[in-house]
A and B are shown apart, each in its own frame.
Chain A
Amino acid sequence: MKLNKILKNTFLIVLACLALSACATKKVSTGQMQGDVYTGTDTVEYLASGVPDRVFFATNESVLTTASRETLRKQAGWLRKNSNVTIVLEGHADERGTREYNLALGERRANAAKDYLMTYGISSDRISVLSYGKERPVDSGSNPLAWSKNRRAVTVKAN
């Protein structure tokens, strides 16, 4: 637990530095997106060292990218090691869609991540799914980079 917290704090500091440097240099969005899938780490938190908590999606898509699958394999490894942990997979959409469709889309994204974890032996009993649609963006911006950060499925420790 404690180690986790320390790691999280150091991470936050790193994050802050990154954010500052991003502001200073006005980085354009291209470096942080592939197609329109977010590839940066600005908003990513860690379940444990080296285990990112979220995966990102293309507009209107719920297909897992190569990077997403790698993240989920790490999460599966961590879940196998911590067999008492249960999780909530939170699915999100960007603001460029109708509210009701986005609720369904968030649910589909969270399930795409859940299904992948299950193929790595994580029992569905340990995973619940919660879609927020477009209700809980992490980035309040109205631009393609902000939207790419918001199209996500986040694994949250439930216990």
Chain B
Amino acid sequence: MNIFRFILLSLILILFSTIKSYSLIEVDITRGNLNPLPVAVSPLSIDEKSKKSFENLLKKKNIGEEISLIVENNLKTSGLFNPLNKDAFLQSPDIANLKPRFEDWNLIKAQALITGKVTNVEDKLRVEFRLWDVLAGKEMMALAFTTVPTNWRRVGHIISDKVYERLTGEKGYFDTRIIYVAEEGPKTNRVKKLAIMDQDGANNKFLTLGNELVLTPRFNPTSQMVTYLSYFRNLPRVYLLDIETGLQEVVGDFPGMTFAPRFSPDGKKIIMSFAKDGNSDIYTMDLENRIVEKITNHPSIDTSPSYSPDGKLICFNSDRSGYQQIYVMKSDGSNVKRISFGKGIYGTPVWSPRGDLIAFTKLHKGKFYIGVMRIDGSGERLLTENFYQEAPSWSPNGRVLIFYRETKTNDKGEGFSAKLWSIDLTGYNERMVKTLTDGSDPSWSSLLSN
């Protein structure tokens, strides 16, 4: 459970001098990026002694190379960067880290260069890295971290986040995890388990055994808690799970099904639906004083609630107009306004962490779409169309959505699968997210370090 603990990464700023200065490289992430920035990720250099010691500790031949591969992979999957083939690199990693020969890197069309060094300092992993602007011939950033060696993957993610932030002007999303439902078995009797993995698919762990049906896990934005729906003892209820300790508890004491849980942005409340006598309404429960409040009171189905990042508003799904539509209200349940008016039905609204958009699922003429609209319902934009897909979840920087997609079965009912996918807010860079088993209901964590 080491990785779940917040191991403090001592972050030492070596040089900060050039950060605010004018630089030639800039990545615009507000539109689809069809020309990803060519970047050279030089393997982090490592001395023989450190290399040997980390090989013993971590069973990785060259930890410097491994960390740079993580950075390379992150930058590539973001769709904003094009890491160049290492075979074309002319300068050796150790010299490049001291003083890059910019003409060489220019020659292979690299616009940015990442170099670095790994050393063993009293059995701790010390990593320094530098980001260089090749065209301007300048250092843009230099940082060093010291941490326990088992944290090496996270070091790669943190470097990726720093580079992303420096070049795009926005926080990254690489040092994060995804909680999701791992699925196996026939479509008519799926076995589902809670699972958690790093954003890039590494360190997959199952958190439940699959004895009972589990659905819709969601992270607390402020801690290592998760809320989800479990059919434990055939009583579908919202649960709270501490992923550090494995302790779990039922949320509230409701005489019926509770479902569709999410945390409030401050992590102190859970908002969810409670179904009774054929009617579902939205409730909150304060996790400190256990006070339960009824937020909606309507004979229709009210579900899938999601708070705005300031906690003042709630978007939710209701069929009070006859069909599923998206509504916004104040957090006390007043001022209910319908915001979705396009053709089709709308579900799973989820507020962007930036506050300006709501992502949703839409069903129209037999096709499912993932889309976004402004919080007043204007500016609807559909990002992707498929046979079946739903349940978008935002990356913590509000630039990427992760969701799940199910396949159509053939005439014999065969060929079912469920996979996680991600897509940029721009509608570009659609990718399948690899998981060990089939997966659904993904939820993205906040940045683990900051």
Contact = CB atoms under 8 A, between A and B. Distances in A.
Contacts of B416: 140
A96 interface: yes
Contact of B303 (A60, A101, A140): A101
B317 A101 contact: yes
B189 A136 contact: yes
A98 B277 contact: no
A137 to B, nearest CB: 6
A140 B409 contact: yes
B260 A103 contact: yes
Interface in B269-309: 273, 275, 277-280, 301, 303-304
Contacts of B347: 97-98, 100-101
A135 B441 CA distance: 13
A100 B391 CA distance: 9
B99 interface: no
Interface in A62-92: 62, 88
Interface string A14-49: 000000000000000000000000000000000000
B280 A98 contact: no
B54 interface: no
A108 interface: yes
Interface in B353-406: 361, 363, 366, 387-388, 390-391, 406
B338 to A, nearest CB: 16
B363 A135 contact: no
A98 B278 contact: no
B236 interface: yes
A130 B391 contact: no
B413 A103 contact: no
Given A100-B273, A108-B301, A137 B441 contact: no
B139 to A, nearest CB: 49
A105 interface: yes
Given A108-B278, A140-B188, A100 B388 contact: no
Given A105-B301, A115-B278, A142-B387, A100 B216 contact: yes
A115 B387 CA distance: 35
A13 interface: no
A53 interface: no
B317 to A, nearest CB: 6
Given A96-B363, A131-B236, A136-B189, A104 B387 contact: no
B60 interface: no
A100 B323 contact: no
Interface residues of A, number: 33
Contacts of B216: 99-100
Given A60-B323, A135-B190, A146-B413, A100 B236 contact: no
B187 interface: yes
A100 B188 contact: no
B260 A108 contact: no
A140 B363 contact: no
B339 interface: no
A155 interface: no
B304 A101 contact: yes
Which of A60, A100, A115, A142 is packed against the most chain B CB atoms within 10 Å? Answer: A100
B317 A107 contact: no
Contacts of B277: 111
B169 interface: no
Contacts of B256: 107, 129
Contacts of B279: 108
B189 A103 contact: no
Contacts of A60: 319, 323
A132 B391 CA distance: 18
B160 interface: no
Given A98-B361, A100-B347, A140-B409, A130 B390 contact: no
A99 B215 CA distance: 9
Nearest to B346: A98
A139 B416 CA distance: 12
Contacts of B213: 132, 135
Contacts of A100: 216, 259-260, 273, 303-304, 317, 347-348
For the complex of A and B, list the 3 residue pairs with the smallest distance between their C-beta atoms, beginning with the closest. A111-B278, A140-B413, A98-B347
Interface of B: 186-190, 213, 215-216, 229, 234, 236, 256-257, 259-260, 273, 275, 277-280, 301, 303-304, 317, 319, 323-324, 347-348, 361, 363, 366, 387-388, 390-391, 406, 408-409, 411, 413-414, 416, 441
17 contacts: A88-B234, A96-B363, A98-B361, A99-B216, A100-B259, A100-B347, A100-B348, A101-B324, A101-B347, A103-B259, A108-B275, A108-B278, A132-B213, A140-B409, A140-B413, A141-B409, A141-B413
